[in-house]
Amino acid sequence: MIDRASREQLATLLGELTAGNVSNDEFHAQLPRSNDLAVREIIEQAWLLCRELPEPKAEGRKKLLRDARAEVSRWTLFLESEREYEWPALPKWARILGFIPSVLTFGLFWAPYRWWFKRTGDAQVWPFIDEKQFQEARGKGGRR
């Protein structure tokens, strides 16, 4: 299910984040809530990105953003597309229940999931499932 309003809101927020116009806290406060798997999974990746980012105007933030810009651009392109999210997604309860075993096994608990995930598609073009989808979206320029 594509939630167009949430995808547009998230795409705008990602643009604001990479431009340095919003702080990490402001970004998190404005995130949409949605049942669209693409929105939920991209938010999770953005959350991981934000953990690494210092606050706006802090030294080193621009370099980190520059390094992440291609990836964030790909996320935005996917959000602007009419594609359904096709990657496997664990329900939230599974992620919560897996937290302690993951810590106790230094992440090895998730090895079967990572193997399954990587066999599903081309991780280099995530959230697109393969290079063909990515190139088609680039050719169309997303939705705009």
Distance (Å, whole) CA 52 – CA 47: 9
Instruction: Tell me the pLDDT tens digit for each residue of 40-73.
Output: 999 988 988 877 766 666 666 666 677 788 899 9
SS3 state at 103: helix
- Tens of pLDDT, residue by residue over 2-23, are 999 999 999 999 998 888 788 8
d(CA 135, CA 62): 28
- Helix, strand and coil content of the chain, in percent to the nearest 5, comes to 65, 0, 35
| pTM over the 0.85 mark | no
CA distance 42 to 32: 11
